[in-house]
Amino acid sequence: MSFISFNLPVKRLVRSFVAVCFCALLFVSNAFPALAVTNSPTKGEDKLLGIEKEAQEVVLDNPMSLEETQEKASKGPNEVQGDADIEKMKNPSNTNATSFEQQVKRVVGSIKGDKE
């Protein structure tokens, strides 16, 4: 029956191999977390060049007056960006995500048997 059990050096080798594989898995999962989230890892995030250009211009120029600040802020989300690349920004109107409250209502409604 001695052929069934591993001898001591083989056990150490197997344990070491499992430990190395586990460490490699931890390293890869910490080093590349974005690959698990994106559909296309080569795409990356959108280039918001208009926002970057506007921000650089604001930094290099003199401080804006109150009127300039209000005028730019009325065009977009804030006074620095204005309406630069506004079509690329994520907002509730261009996303199909539902809020947590809506998801809970839908689940509770399906449990109750309500039709929405």
Q: Are 48 and 88 contacting, i.e. CB atoms less than 8 angstroms apart?
A: yes
pTM as predicted: 0.33
Q: What band does 17 get if pLDDT is binned at 50, 70 and 90?
A: very high
How do the domains of the chain map onto residue ranges? 1-38, 45-84
Rounded CA gap, 5 and 21, in Å?
A: 23
The model's pLDDT over 73-103, given as tens digits with 9 standing for 90+, comes to 777 777 766 677 777 777 777 777 777 888 8
Rounded to whole angstroms, the Cα distance separating 74 from 26 reads: 47
